[in-house]
Structure 1
């Protein structure tokens, strides 16, 4: 990957920093947003229909922020552990959503990739090239080939390859982006909040209420405006704004949610899991990040 995309050190303006320095820069922004959000949800009157749900989401946000930022404080080693941990949980949720469940062999390939790819990005980034990608894609298809599955083998292989690209490979970018990963993660999180606020405030009627896609009728153009404002503000607040990085993060917020909606609709499920209060599963929380991170790699010099 690094051989294809060029040097990747997290070079957005203001973020030629170590992990600890980058986290130190964004921590006041995150803390301020969480504080204001906590006051806002605590002050909601009882008649507000989503009062309980919003409070559950805020509590999850308050716990998720240190879980995400804490490992990144320790630089590449922490980013590697974070990427591997998120990847293992996410591929497990993805495997459960596949029609009929993903076979054990494919699940093992995805789990191995979730650990190996971040480690290689940390220890041997020069190995992340087309040769390794070819090996990984063949490994994802190999279980269906060796089992002689002539009824659903092609679908199994395609799901495994998609899962490999969507989750382990994307999360590896948290290691390759360096300090910029911190800014991207914070901007994506605030972009999701901005999308909800924009959709709620502006998306009730008129042209802005039009859904982006039948895959997710609740995602409207009003939400895109809210996400655009929030992501721009977040990147500017942490000193990482560039037009290219903003477009990458905004595209991740918009397309990531639709991509997961497509997977869930095919699987016939509402959420990827049920263990994360207010959100469902981990994939429901990091779907935007899984698109924003590789796009940020493309635009980061």
Structure 2
């Protein structure tokens, strides 16, 4: 009951902020003139945001059971998209899908599980299929890609359960605001000048202007939900920036533009949560909220 009360307080602080931004954004995209090239895409994105925000916030109202369900649901979809991009076989997909449920479940059932034991279990899960199948030509690559997927998705999403409700919710809201801030600043300031330089050849459209926008937006989001701290802000900002580049790296090697096609305005689920995954991992690494 106390965990549900704390989660309710966190959601109560976040709902007016998220609702206000969604409302303002809805008015803005509705008012866009027909000649604006990205009008249709922006409207699709807004509809996806409008659906995702209540689901995300609502999960926290149910306490740790809700955040477990959220983490497991996101994980099952995300590992499916990742497995297709990574070219993993049926065995590795089963391992990743099981881990998407089991790792957040472990964080729920056994808070503070020893990191060494968890790492050993993940390594065993990553190599078992390739070892049992006797794949001497590509087994190492398969195992490495599986291990990367395990850490990148199920372990990261377990942070929604392992972190306290205030911190986990603040990270999710701040990352979402950071994505919007990066896009706005990149569009407005990333065309020319000192902030127009790309961060990495992996994603030439990601510029230092976007980093500046994400820095401002994540700081503002953390402040308005009452969770601003330098360490937390730095971890969220780094995750927001690195998350996009990590997924770009995976997609470049896979030769695909998007992780999927089913999420209007974004592509796949991984295209929407890539920053959240890295941010959660970095926040857990700092020990904030654990």
Shared fold per TM-score greater than 0.5: yes
For residue 110 of structure 1, the aligned residue among 96, 99, 105 is 96
User: Partner residue of 1:121?
Assistant: 107
Any stretches of 5+ residues in structure 1 without a counterpart? 1-9, 11-16
Render the CA deviation track for 1:269-288: whole Å, top value 9, x for unaligned.
00000000000000000000
For residue 154 of structure 1, the aligned residue among 117, 128, 140 is 140
For residue 250 of structure 2, the aligned residue among 241, 263, 272 is 263
Q: CA deviation at 1:142?
A: 1.1
Q: CA deviation at 1:128?
A: 4.2
Render the CA deviation track for 1:162-189: whole Å, top value 9, x for unaligned.
0000000000000011221111100000
Residues paired across the two proteins, number = 285
CA contact (8 A) 1:89 1:282 kept: yes
Q: Is 1:277 matched up with 2:230?
A: no
Whole-Å separation in 1 of the counterparts to 2:12 and 2:112: 29
Render the CA deviation track for 1:227-282: whole Å, top value 9, x for unaligned.
00000000001110001111111001100000000000000000000000000000
Any stretches of 5+ residues in structure 2 without a counterpart? none
User: Partner residue of 1:13?
Assistant: none
Render the CA deviation track for 1:199-229: whole Å, top value 9, x for unaligned.
0111010221110000000000000000000
CA contact (8 A) 1:170 1:294 kept: yes
Deviating 4+ runs (over 4 angstroms):
none
User: Partner residue of 1:31?
Assistant: 19
CA contact (8 A) 1:84 1:118 kept: yes
User: Partner residue of 1:6?
Assistant: none
Moved more, 276-285 or 148-157: 148-157
Task: Calculate the aligned-residue CA RMSD, in Å.
Answer: 1.4
CA contact (8 A) 1:120 1:128 kept: no
User: Partner residue of 1:134?
Assistant: 120
Moved more, 185-194 or 112-121: 112-121
Moved more, 201-210 or 127-136: 127-136
Whole-Å separation in 2 of the counterparts to 1:129 and 1:210: 39
Q: CA deviation at 1:119?
A: 1.0
Q: 1:71 to 1:128 in 2, by over 3 A?
A: farther
User: Partner residue of 1:3?
Assistant: none
Q: TM-score, normalised by structure 1?
A: 0.92
Moved more, 231-240 or 138-147: 138-147
Q: CA deviation at 1:126?
A: 4.0
For residue 166 of structure 1, the aligned residue among 131, 148, 152 is 152
Q: TM-score, normalised by structure 2?
A: 0.96
SS state at 1:264 partner: helix
User: Partner residue of 2:9?
Assistant: 21
Aligned pairs for 1:1-301 within 5 A: 18-98=6-86, 101-179=87-165, 180-299=167-286, 300=288
Whole-Å separation in 2 of the counterparts to 1:291 and 1:58: 23
Q: CA deviation at 1:69?
A: 1.1
